[in-house]
């Protein structure tokens, strides 16, 4: 069994032809520059940007397939305990809870070679670079109608199952690995809703 973690941001305008903003695009670019000087700006594999145009007419949506080596889902409950003198305490539990999802793994310094994509629901998800993932951490805000979506995709012998959560990025840690100079390690923590969609296993 293997698991994949997919990360994406729902665009603000979902009607007609979508022109993704710099926050939502697969190739987030530094502002400024024109003509040949725009070519030296950030160019990432599989993005239409980098052709020399300062404002490409087409931008691909940032759909990320995270190279995850660890995944933890924790749910915090908030029951109240009231101490009673010389008696057993009273417990109050109104059913509130707070899911927290932590993903750890490796992210490449440079873009993956051609063909390194993960298909899911008719879309191709790309392995992000350190720059792309760091950009998502600082620029992807949770807004109603423009949610950040985290998909936990499980593949086993008989079926493809998944759970999807609306999330907000809470913390991000990146580190260099001396034995793997082409990669950064990462740890991302998300505060989450309960699953908003899913395809349960057919094997139970």
58 vs 127, which has greater pLDDT?
127
Which conformational region is residue 133 in: left (phi greater than 0), alpha (psi within -120 to 50 degrees), or beta?
Answer: alpha
Asked whether the whole model's pTM tops 0.85, one would answer no
Tell me the pLDDT band of 32, cut-offs 50, 70 and 90.
very low
Q: What is the pLDDT of residue 158?
A: 56
Mean pLDDT of the residues in the chain: 78
Asked if 5 and 149 count as a contact pair (C-beta separation under 8 A), the reply is: no
Question: Which residue segments constitute the domains of the chain, with CATH numbers given?
Answer: 2-24+62-199 (2.40.30)
**Mean pLDDT lowest for which of 53-57, 160-164, 173-177, 188-192?**
53-57
- CA–CA separation, 24 vs 104, rounded Å? 22
Other beta carbons less than 10 A from residue 102's beta carbon: 15
Q: What is the pLDDT of residue 38?
A: 46
Q: How much is the average pLDDT of 61-89?
A: 91
């Amino acid at each position: 069994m293997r698991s994949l973690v997919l990360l994406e941001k729902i665009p603000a305008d979902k009607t007609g032809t979508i022109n993704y903003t710099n926050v939502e695009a697969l190739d987030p670019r530094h502002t400024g520059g024109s003509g040949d000087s725009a070519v030296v700006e950030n160019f990432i594999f599989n993005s239409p940007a980098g052709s020399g145009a300062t404002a490409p007419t087409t931008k691909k949506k940032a759909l990320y397939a995270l190279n995850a080596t660890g995944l933890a889902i924790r749910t915090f409950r908030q029951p109240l305990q009231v101490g009673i003198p010389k008696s057993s305490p009273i417990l109050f539990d109104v059913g509130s809870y707070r899911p927290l999802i932590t993903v750890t793994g490796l992210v490449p310094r440079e873009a993956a070679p051609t063909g390194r994509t993960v298909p899911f629901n008719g879309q191709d998800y790309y392995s992000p670079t350190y720059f792309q993932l760091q950009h998502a951490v600082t620029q992807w805000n949770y807004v109603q109608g423009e949610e950040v979506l985290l998909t936990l995709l499980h593949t086993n012998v008989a079926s493809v199952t998944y759970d999807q959560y609306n999330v907000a990025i809470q913390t991000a840690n990146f580190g260099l690995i001396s034995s793997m100079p082409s990669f950064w390690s990462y740890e991302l923590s998300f505060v989450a809703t309960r699953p908003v969609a899913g395809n349960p296993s057919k094997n139970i």
